[in-house]
Structure formats: structure tokens, C-alpha cells
Structure 1
Amino acid sequence: MLLFSIIGYLVLTIVVGFWSSRRVNTSSDYMLAGRSLPLMLSSSAMFATWFGSETVFGASSEFLEGGLYAVIEDPFGAALCLILFGLFFAPRLYKMNLLTLGDFFRVRFGKNTELVASFFLAPPYVGYIAAQLVAMGLIIHVVTGLVLWQGVVISAVVVTIYTYVGGMWAITITDFIQTVIIIGGLLVLAVIMGDKAGGVTHVLSQVPQEDLKFLPSLDLKEILTYVAAWSVLGLGSLPSQDVFQRSMSSKSAKVAEWSCYIAALLYLTIAMLPLFISLCTKMLYPEQITGDTQLTLPNMVLKHTSLPVQILFFGSLISAIMSTTSSSILAPAAIFSENLIRPLSKRRFTDKQLLNITRICVLLFSIVSTIMTCLRSNIYELVGESSILSLVSLFAPLTFGLYWKRANAAGALLSMLLGMVTWIIFEFSHSSWPSLVPATIVSIFALIAGSLLWTPKVEHGKNRTQPIE
């Protein structure tokens, strides 16, 4: 019965994708849902940005092993990203009427910067997509007993069909449905588990104090590690196409801004439920936390809850992960087609041809991510690595490009390249210090130095790169 219910969820999602495809007539419809989403749909889309495998599987697994201190990156860093994006990025970017985040680098810094930025924007999504496919594969493995890679391939095929057909419209509509379901499913499970464990107060009273540690000690290395944990998603996901495309799909700048705040509030509250459920599981069924802790929640639900609860939990989880995966596949596909293929072809393609190219890119990124998924399976690490690459290369050019008039193409290019090189040096030298901290600092100073030392070309009495008002 559970298996048939899961199949039903998968079929329903594909049906929604085909139904939504009727609204897709242009590349803007496919990438940004025609920039027409009301606050409710926009907020649910923003909430669903990361609320998938890393929150339910990855964060709960890390929490069981390292306590609250181990999950600063997600959910707290993710909520910080949404708040910052709403405050400082969404209103200004929305007014620029861009199709992708790569377009910002072309408008602000020129075509060469657009091409380089696009190489840094698209590839990190491979790891993120892989994390979602791992989660889907884990669910199928738990329910059916199939080997993980087989579940991954099945998941990839289903999600790719759905993304290929419906684009951002399908993602948005599914986001709203899955938001309602995931909140309801986790609330029901949390209430049941909390009641079995003796209530919320009793559960929290049994948690060791060190597991509730939230602030760092007065040690420089620990403080930097703590800041780095906040920054991985908190700053690293600000220059990301999936956050951009969900926000820019709103019908106005004000809706784009407020949807970020509402999504952050939902994230901070709803993301606590998997952590609480994992605590209850640890108290009631300690045998479930042995082995791969990523399987703790699904195994517990399968063995110790009734069929209706199983259907609600697995159905809502699959829905959430599929929506997150779909958006993550569309994001790099949009960047690759709009900001790499189109400019390199000297913009000879019509909008209809660009739409078809974007769909082909969806297939390409899905295949590459599926291969990567079969090689690695730690969800939390895959998500973190995908955000770090954006942080050390794109955070400074995007932020300074929006707020500093003197920022220019030379500074932006220097920032991207030196930030990435610094990260690679520290990462492969196996330093005990978090490599993203020096890399981000170098990226920021490189942008400032490059912008001050190199004067942009002047055409007809104006700077080649105009400041954002």
C-alpha cells in the first residue's frame, strides 16, 4: 500500500508538470513563470528552495551526531540567506528585469564577465542535484529494498521528465502543494513521536547540554569555523540561480522581498521538526541510530508508525525533494543556455529555439548529476560544497556590483579567479582552518583592488559598465 502511494505521488507530480506546461510559451515562462506569482505561491516557492533532503535527512543526521552546533549551516544559515536576499538583493535585482543571474553580470560588467561568472554559477549545482537524488534513492531503497543507485536512476528519470516539460510553472505549483503536505506531515509525526516520548519538555530535558550548544567558545579558530558554517548557505547561496529564479518569478518587487521573509520564518520553524523527531527517535528507538544516520528517520517511520503516517511522511518528503531537485536542475540549465550558449552563438537563436536549448540542458545536467550521485552519497557534504563554490567566487562581485559604483569588470574578474584559486590552495593543503574564510576575504579585496587600479573603458563619455541605481 505504501509503495502504491509513493507511485501515486510520482505520477501526480508528473501530471502537474504536463498540466503546467500549457502556460509555457516563452523562455521567460519556462525560467521565471512569466514573473507573475502572487505572494502565497512565491513564498512557498522560496520556502521550498532548500527544504528537501538536506533539511530532513542531512540536518537530522548531523544533529544526532553533533548536536545543534553541527546544523548551523542548515537550517540557520539557509534562513539567514533568505532574510539577506529579501533585504538587500531581491528589490534591486527585480527592477533590472533579468532572465538569469548571469544576465546581471553582463548588464553590470560586460559580456566577458558574464561568460566567466556563468562557469562559476552552473557547475556547483551538480553537487546539489546529486544530494537530492541521493535522498530520493534512499527513500526508494528503504521502501522497496532496491540498491541505492537503482533508486537514484529511477528518481532522476521521473524528475527530469517533470522538469523538462513544465519548467518554473510546474515547480511553483508543486511547491505550493508540497509546502502544505510537508508541514502537515511533519507536524503529525512530531506530535505522535513527542507524545510517545513523554512530551516536548521531557524530550528536551534528556538532551545533553553540549548538544544544545549554539555559540562558539572564545577561540579564534572555533569562531572562524562558526562564521564559516553560517556563511556556507547564508552568504554562499545569495549568488545562486535557484534563489534568484524563485524570487524573480514574483509579480512585483515587493512580493519578491516579502516572500523571502515569510519563507525564512517558515524555514526556521518547520525545519526544527525533523530535529525534534530525531531526538524522539534517539530516546524511543536507539537501535535506529546505528549505521547510516541518514536512514534514521525513514527507517523509524517505516518500522514504528502506522500506515497512514507512513504514507503522509514519505509522500510529503518525496514531494518536497522532487520540487527542490527540479528547481536545482532548471537553474544551471537556464544559465548554460542563456549566458553561455546564446552569447557564444552571437544571439542568433530565437526565443523558441532558446527554450528548446534550455530543455536539452536540463537533460545534460540531470545525467551528469546522476553519475556524481552514484559516486558519493553524503547529502550534507554535497549541499555544503555546492554553496561554497558560489561564495568564494561570486558573492563579492554580486554584492559590490549592486552597491558600489566604482566596481568594474576588472575587479569582478579578479575577484572570481583569485577567490577560487585561494579556496583550492587551502582546500588541498588540508589546512585545519576553514578554507572558505581566506578565499572569501581574498575575493573581496581582489574586487576592491582591481576596481581601483584598473579604470573602465570610456565610450561616448560614459563608463562601459554603468552603476546600479
Structure 2
Amino acid sequence: MVNFFIIFYLSITLAIGFWASKKIKSAGDFALAGKSLSTLLVAVTLFATWFGSTQIMGNPGYFITDGFSSYITLVVSGGFCLIIVGQFYARKLYRMNIVTINDFFRVRYNKTLETVSSLLMVLSYPHWIAAQYVALAYLFNTVMDIPFQYGIILGASIVVFYTYIGGMWAVAYTDMVQSVMILLGLFILLFQVLDETGGIAAIFEKQPSKFYHLTPDGGLDEWSDYIALLLAFTAGAIPVQEIYQRVFSAKDEKTARHGLFLGAFLMVLIPSIPLIIGLGGVQLYPELLENGNSQDIIPTLVKTMTTIPVQILFYGAMISAILSTSSGAMLAPATVIAENLIKPNVKTLSDKKLLLFTRLSVVLVAIVSCYFAFDNSDIVGLVEASLSLILVCLFAPFTLGLFWSKASVKGAWAAIIFGGLTWFCCFIFETRIDATIYGTIVSCFSMVIGSIIYPDKKQNTDVL
């Protein structure tokens, strides 16, 4: 019965994508939903894109082990990032009337930096998308006994289909439906866990005092991991395309900002629920931690302690969360490939062909992401890896280029090259302090020094 309803739900998702495809008349409709999203849709699509496998299957294991220090790095950081973008970035970028943040690199610097930043952006996404495929594979294996490898292929195929045909419209509408499913499933399981544990106070009162520490209790290694995660999920997420794809899809800049703030609230509130569920679940069933795979805690918990109707709803909710994250994450690099890598290099490109290239880019991104999904099954690690590259290469030229009139082309090159090389070398030699920290510091420092020593002959202040 569970299998039947899961298949039925997936069919509905595909049907919504097909219905949304009727709104696609141009490449702009496909990428930005005709710049017509409301505050609620901006917030919901932001939430749905970021609330996925990491929050449901990755974070609970870390919270059980590390307590509230992991809550700061894995949950609060995401909401803080959206607040920063809404307060400082959204207004300036919306007024530029661009499609991708790589368009900003062309306007602020030059076409070469647009191309390089686009390549870096595209290369960063497959790890994140792979994390969603891995989570779907775990779910299909747990619920339907589908082998892990086939689960990856099945999940990728479903997401590709409705993203390919419906673009941002399909993402927006399916995100709305999927978010409702997510909330219903999470709250039902939460209430059931709290009923069996005796309430939320009973769950937390059994934890040791160090569980409530907001910072690590260990030495340099623990602090290095802590700071690296904070940097990745806060600063590293600021230049990512999926945020601005929703910002630029809003009907006006006020709507975009309010959507970001509402999205930030949802990104702190809702991801807290799986943490409580996981913590209560391992108190009721300590054996959930015995297999050494903390990513299976919540799917196994659902199968162990809930009735068939609740299982149907919750598994549908989990699949919803991961599908929405996958579709949004796939659309972002596909848009960058079409707008910033293909469009500038193909003369007399019609809008119809641009739309086709954007759709084909969705398929390309999915294929590459499948490779990483087969290669690495650590969900949180895959997401962190995807953000680290953007952080050490693009954060400094993006932020300083937006807010500092003296930011120069050679300064941007220095940030990308020296930040990226530092990160890569530290990663290869496995330095004790996380490579992301070194790379970020060097990138920002190189941006400032390079811009001062090699200023542009004519300062570009158009975006300031």
C-alpha cells in the first residue's frame, strides 16, 4: 500500500510539472517564471530549495552527537544568510535587471570573469544535487526496497522530467504543494514522538550539559570544523544562483526582500523539527544508532513506530522535500550554462533555441550529479563541498564588487586564483585547519590588495 501511494504521489508531482509547462512561452518564463512570483512563493521556493536531504536525514545525526553547536552551524546559519541577502544584496541586484549573478560579473568586471565565474558556479552544484539523489536513493531503498544505485537513477529521472518541461514555474508550483506535505508529515511524526517520550522537556532534560553549548568543547580541530561550516553555510551561500533565481523571479524588489525574510524564518523554524524527532527517536529506540549510519534515523523511525497512513504521508513529505531541493538546485546551474556560457558565444541565438539549450543543460547537470552521487554517499559532506568552492573563489569578488567602488578586475582575478589555489593545496595536504578557512582569508585579502595595487583605469560604479 505504501508503495502504491508513493508512486501515486510521484505521478501527481509529474502532472503538476506538465501543467506548469503550459506557462512556458520563452526562456525568461523558464528561468524566472515571468518575474511574477509573490512574497509567499518567493519564500516557499527558497525554503523548499534549501530544506531537503541535509535537514531531514543529515542534520539529526549531527545534532544528536554535537548538540546545539551543530544547530548553529547547520540550521541558524541558513536563516542568517537569507537575512543578510535580503537586507544588503537583494535591492541592488534586483535593480540591475539581470538573470544570473554571473551577469553581475560581466556588468561589474568583464565578459571573461563572467565566463570563469559561471564555470565555477556550475562546477559547485553537482555535489549538492548529488546529495539529494543519495537521499532519494536511501528513501526508495527503505520504503520500496529499490537497490541504492537504481534509486539514484530513478530519483534523477523524476526531477529531470518535471524541471525540463516546466522550469521555474514547475519548481514554484511543486514547491508549494511539496511544502504543505512536508509540514503535515513533520508535525504528525513530531506529535507522535513527543507523545511517546512524554513531551519536549523530557527529551532535552536527559541531555548532558555540554549538549547545550553553542560552540565546540574540543580544541583546534573542532573549532576548525565549526568555523568552516559557518563560513560555508553563511558566506558561502550568499553568491549562489538559486537564491537570486527566486529574487529575480519576484514581481518587484519589495516582494523579493520580504520573501527572503519570510524564507529565513521558515529555514530556522521548520528544520528544527527533524532534530527534535531524531533526538526523541534515539531515546525511544537506541538501536537506531547502532548501524553507524545516522542518515537512516528518521526513515527507519517512521517505518518502526508509525501506522501505514502516517508512513504514506511522511514518506511523501520526505520525498517532497528532496524533490523540491533537487529541482531548484538543477535549474540554477542549467540557467547559468545557457545564459552565461552558451548565449554570449552563439551569435543570432533565438529565444526558442535558448530555451532548448536551458532544458538540455538540466539533463547535463543531472548526469554529472549522478556520477558524484555514486561516488560519495555522505549527504552533509556533499553539500559542504558544493559551497566551499563558491566561498573561496566568488564570495570576495561578488561582495566587494557590489559594495566597494575600488574593486578591480585584477583584484577579482587575484581573489579567484589565489583563494582557489590555497583551498586546493590545503585540501590536498590535509591541513589541520580546514582548507575553507585558509581559502576564504586568502581570497578576501587578495581581492583587497590586488584592487589597490592594480586599480581599473576607469572605475565601474554603475552598480553601486
TM-score, structure 2 normalization: 0.97
| 1:340 equivalent in alignment to 2:341 | yes
Q: Is the 8 A contact 2:49 2:326 kept in 1?
A: no
| 1:468 equivalent in alignment to 2:463 | yes
What one-letter code is carried by the residue in structure 2 that aligns with 1:357? F
Give the superposition deviation at 1:200: 0.9
Give the superposition deviation at 1:339: 0.7
Give the superposition deviation at 1:211: 2.4
Residue equivalent to 2:311:
310
What one-letter code is carried by the residue in structure 2 that aligns with 1:417? I
Residue equivalent to 2:33:
33
CA distance in 2, matches of 1:227, 1:206: 28
Residue equivalent to 2:387:
387
CA distance in 2, matches of 1:54, 1:218: 24
Q: Is the 8 A contact 2:86 2:261 kept in 1?
A: yes
CA distance in 2, matches of 1:232, 1:205: 31
Residue equivalent to 1:296:
297
Give the superposition deviation at 1:210: 2.2
Give the superposition deviation at 1:220: 6.5
| 1:174 equivalent in alignment to 2:174 | yes
Q: Is the 8 A contact 1:94 1:248 kept in 2?
A: yes
Residue equivalent to 1:433:
433
Secondary structure of the 1:162 match is: helix
What one-letter code is carried by the residue in structure 2 that aligns with 1:116? V
Give the superposition deviation at 1:267: 1.4
Give the superposition deviation at 1:209: 2.1
Q: Is the 8 A contact 1:118 1:340 kept in 2?
A: yes
Q: Classify 1:222/1:150 alpha carbon distance in 2 versus 1 (closer, same or farther; 3 Å).
A: closer
Deviations 1:74-127 (A, max 9, x none): 212211111111111111111111111111100111101101111111111000
The answer to which of 208-217 and 101-110 deviates more is 208-217
What one-letter code is carried by the residue in structure 2 that aligns with 1:39? T
What one-letter code is carried by the residue in structure 2 that aligns with 1:344? N
CA distance in 2, matches of 1:220, 1:145: 42
What one-letter code is carried by the residue in structure 2 that aligns with 1:105? F
CA distance in 2, matches of 1:188, 1:245: 32
Q: Is the 8 A contact 2:130 2:369 kept in 1?
A: yes
What one-letter code is carried by the residue in structure 2 that aligns with 1:83? I
Q: Classify 1:218/1:209 alpha carbon distance in 2 versus 1 (closer, same or farther; 3 Å).
A: closer
CA distance in 2, matches of 1:120, 1:174: 28
The answer to which of 396-405 and 283-292 deviates more is 283-292
| 1:148 equivalent in alignment to 2:115 | no
What one-letter code is carried by the residue in structure 1 that aligns with 2:276? F
Q: Is the 8 A contact 1:342 1:348 kept in 2?
A: no
Residue equivalent to 2:206:
206
CA distance in 2, matches of 1:148, 1:173: 29
What one-letter code is carried by the residue in structure 1 that aligns with 2:333? P
Give the superposition deviation at 1:73: 3.0
| 1:226 equivalent in alignment to 2:226 | yes
Write the mapping of 1:260-279 to structure 2, written as runs, cut at 5 A: 260-279=260-279
Secondary structure of the 2:375 match is: coil
Residue equivalent to 1:322:
323
The answer to which of 12-21 and 204-213 deviates more is 204-213
Q: Is the 8 A contact 1:101 1:244 kept in 2?
A: yes
Q: Is the 8 A contact 1:402 1:467 kept in 2?
A: no
Q: Is the 8 A contact 2:210 2:217 kept in 1?
A: no
CA distance in 1, matches of 2:47, 2:367: 26
CA distance in 2, matches of 1:144, 1:217: 41
Q: Is the 8 A contact 1:73 1:232 kept in 2?
A: no
Give the superposition deviation at 1:216: 4.0
| 1:4 equivalent in alignment to 2:23 | no
Give the superposition deviation at 1:225: 4.0
Give the superposition deviation at 1:222: 5.1
Write the mapping of 1:36-435 to structure 2, written as runs, cut at 5 A: 36-216=36-216, 223-291=223-291, 292-345=293-346, 347-435=347-435
Give the superposition deviation at 1:143: 0.8
Q: Structure 1: where are the runs of 5+ without partners?
A: none
Equivalent pairs: percent with the same residue? 38
Give the superposition deviation at 1:163: 0.7
Q: Is the 8 A contact 1:46 1:247 kept in 2?
A: no
Q: Is the 8 A contact 1:242 1:331 kept in 2?
A: yes
Q: Is the 8 A contact 1:72 1:229 kept in 2?
A: no
What one-letter code is carried by the residue in structure 2 that aligns with 1:306? T
Give the superposition deviation at 1:355: 0.8
Deviations 1:153-176 (A, max 9, x none): 111111111110000111011111
TM-score, structure 1 normalization: 0.96
Residue equivalent to 2:21:
21
What one-letter code is carried by the residue in structure 1 that aligns with 2:260? C
CA distance in 2, matches of 1:145, 1:207: 35
CA distance in 1, matches of 2:380, 2:411: 33
Give the superposition deviation at 1:455: 3.1
Q: Is the 8 A contact 1:163 1:326 kept in 2?
A: yes
CA distance in 2, matches of 1:27, 1:408: 32
Q: Is the 8 A contact 1:405 1:467 kept in 2?
A: no
Secondary structure of the 1:374 match is: helix
Q: Is the 8 A contact 2:220 2:433 kept in 1?
A: no
Aligned pair count reads 463
Secondary structure of the 2:302 match is: helix
What one-letter code is carried by the residue in structure 1 that aligns with 2:362? V
CA distance in 1, matches of 2:219, 2:193: 38
Deviations 1:218-242 (A, max 9, x none): 9666555433221111110111111
What one-letter code is carried by the residue in structure 2 that aligns with 1:318? I
Deviations 1:361-402 (A, max 9, x none): 111110111121111111010001101111101111111111
CA distance in 2, matches of 1:380, 1:220: 21
What one-letter code is carried by the residue in structure 2 that aligns with 1:44? V
CA distance in 2, matches of 1:186, 1:26: 37
Poorly superposed stretches of 4+, deviation over 6 Å: 218-221
Give the superposition deviation at 1:56: 0.3
Q: Is the 8 A contact 1:406 1:467 kept in 2?
A: no
Secondary structure of the 2:50 match is: coil
Deviations 1:43-90 (A, max 9, x none): 101111210100000101222333332343321221111111111111
What one-letter code is carried by the residue in structure 1 that aligns with 2:318? L
Secondary structure of the 2:103 match is: helix
CA distance in 2, matches of 1:225, 1:10: 37
CA distance in 2, matches of 1:439, 1:191: 44
Q: Is the 8 A contact 1:52 1:324 kept in 2?
A: yes
Q: CA RMSD for the aligned pairs?
A: 1.5
Secondary structure of the 1:393 match is: helix
The answer to which of 423-432 and 51-60 deviates more is 423-432
